[in-house]
A and B are shown apart, each in its own frame.
Chain A
């Protein structure tokens, strides 16, 4: 009893109060969605080929996006973290722009750059790639909005690794690239995985930019929107609940397997 009183002192109650409000606003609606969807709703959603292919497409494209984000984003993040050059702070702040833009605007920006007859779109057409109504478009849209999360997380991880480690590797005889690959990259591994998980989660849930570039084939968020506008809440809710469960399961599994912690 005495212990209980100690735990529930005034300052604890203060923090508890706001934590409860945050929990209600953030998690309660999701729990409600998952638990108020009847079993036959889930069953119907699972047996709907269109739903399953939309969810699979979302998972596939988000995974491809994350792979590209790692390949391109990790060296970029390292460059920003470790090299001193003029304009570094400016480039650093540019990374935030895709995160700050409304996602519909992100779609417009991409369409007017990579779309048919646009500046870089012409080049893509020569290579036989179209970003309109194609998987390329989905991946491009997802990459644009989600890669900055991976880059920012990874950059912070590299910055947190003491420079003495790289100095040690260099003195022992490693050239810079080898020191990066053999020392810093393994040391940053968990942090990069944490960034990749965030990137994947952002990519799989992207709607605004994707629908502007690629209306069809449907990704899960696009399909849910279409179901909602054409058939209403009752039709869109079970698909939403199913998407939440599947993405949450994948998200938790990666976190668990990779030992990811957001310190």
Chain B
């Protein structure tokens, strides 16, 4: 188990502020945030590559805050390839074992075992400049895992790779999670990657953890505007709420939304573009509580889907399939009716 408690680190103008979280054994923890948000600095602090100003890092009940990196037994895969270019893949994987004084025969056994697991047995005698990007990542994972680390840190391990390689490596990472039963921390800016891999996600912004939660609840019910923006809530508005019946009505520049939570005062609400339903003509009574009429002012084709920008007094984004667009015969300037279920509208706490 890894615990990071009130960690603070100032570095030039940047600062990690009171970072606190726990990652259990066998848990895949993703730290999601844009570049420059402090993800790598945080991993470096956990690995002991940077001294922390305040706070504690505890691995398996041992306070390692002031331990040098070599005493923490951490596996770390860096954002850029760090296979040592003057060593073969075999020698690269062997290096951490050599440093730990593992006897030669035992080293050989462990390297063969891990390279078979990672599917890189055939490239062991190659130099790093002779292998592909995907193979290099596998070799780096093998090098990080061969020491049976207490914690595995992954810094954007899938960036700069082609989609098919990413896919197979994602499967590899899921397998590692199952096989190794250690805390895994994976930092990325890619929300899709985060949701595919994670058990738990922490959103980080400007050195601060904004929200932590299990991936499903975070995706469905983000509590902070930043999380919502990052997770695809493209419709976020500020309005005045008034309690009404079993919920509230939020007035956003004259457009009134019914939401299921009972709140009053200034609030921020949001919903996903895929939760907006488009009608070409009004269908009569329905269970949808929020129905508006507006004009299509923009239309962006995104492969198989289309993002519509609809002016209903405020601009609302709606995502539909290209097939729906063709079947409904929607064009720029067309009048459409939109519906949003009140349960799809979330309210944010900031």
> 8 Å CB contacts to B: which residues of A38-56?
none
Query: Tally of A-B residue pairs with Cβ under 8 A?
Result: 58
**What is the distance, in angstroms, from B286's C-beta to the closest C-beta of chain A?**
56
**What is the distance, in angstroms, from B24's C-beta to the closest C-beta of chain A?**
22
B96 at the interface (CB under 8 A from A): yes
Q: Lowest 9 CB-CB distances: which A-B pairs, in order? A: A172-B96, A173-B99, A168-B82, A173-B70, A164-B78, A186-B86, A171-B76, A170-B69, A164-B82
CB within 8 A of B147: which of A168, A172, A174?
A172
A171 with B74, Cβ < 8 A, contacts A162-B80, A164-B79 known: yes
Query: 22 A–B contact pairs at CB < 8 A?
Result: A164-B78, A164-B82, A167-B44, A167-B47, A167-B78, A168-B82, A168-B84, A170-B48, A171-B69, A171-B70, A171-B72, A171-B75, A172-B95, A172-B96, A172-B99, A172-B143, A172-B147, A173-B147, A175-B70, A183-B84, A186-B84, A187-B86
Contacting residues, chain A, for B47 (C-beta < 8 A): 167, 171
B333 at the interface (CB under 8 A from A): no
Interface string of A183-205 (1 = CB under 8 A from B): 10011010000000000000000
Chain B interface residue bracket vs A: 20 to 34
* Closest Cβ neighbor of B78 among chain A residues: A164
* Closest Cβ neighbor of A182 among chain B residues: B95
Q: Say yes or no: A173 contacts B100, CB within 8 Å.
A: yes
B85 at the interface (CB under 8 A from A): yes
B49 at the interface (CB under 8 A from A): yes
Tell me, in angstroms, the Cα distance from A172 to B146 when the chains sit together: 10
Tell me, in angstroms, the Cα distance from A178 to B84 when the chains sit together: 14
* Closest Cβ neighbor of B77 among chain A residues: A168
A79 at the interface (CB under 8 A from B): no
Tell me, in angstroms, the Cα distance from A173 to B84 when the chains sit together: 15
Chain A interface residue bracket vs B: 10 to 19
Tell me, in angstroms, the Cα distance from A156 to B10 when the chains sit together: 28
Contacting residues, chain B, for A171 (C-beta < 8 A): 47-49, 69-70, 72, 74-76
Tell me, in angstroms, the Cα distance from A173 to B76 when the chains sit together: 12
Contacting residues, chain B, for A251 (C-beta < 8 A): none
Interface string of A146-177 (1 = CB under 8 A from B): 00000000000000001011011111111100
**What is the distance, in angstroms, from B91's C-beta to the closest C-beta of chain A?**
11
Tell me, in angstroms, the Cα distance from A183 to B48 when the chains sit together: 19
A162 with B82, Cβ < 8 A, contacts A172-B99, A173-B96 known: yes
Given pairs A168-B84, A173-B96, 16 additional interface contacts (CB within 8 A): A162-B82, A164-B78, A164-B82, A167-B44, A167-B49, A171-B47, A171-B69, A171-B70, A171-B76, A172-B95, A173-B147, A175-B70, A178-B99, A186-B86, A187-B86, A189-B86
**What is the distance, in angstroms, from A184's C-beta to the closest C-beta of chain B?**
10
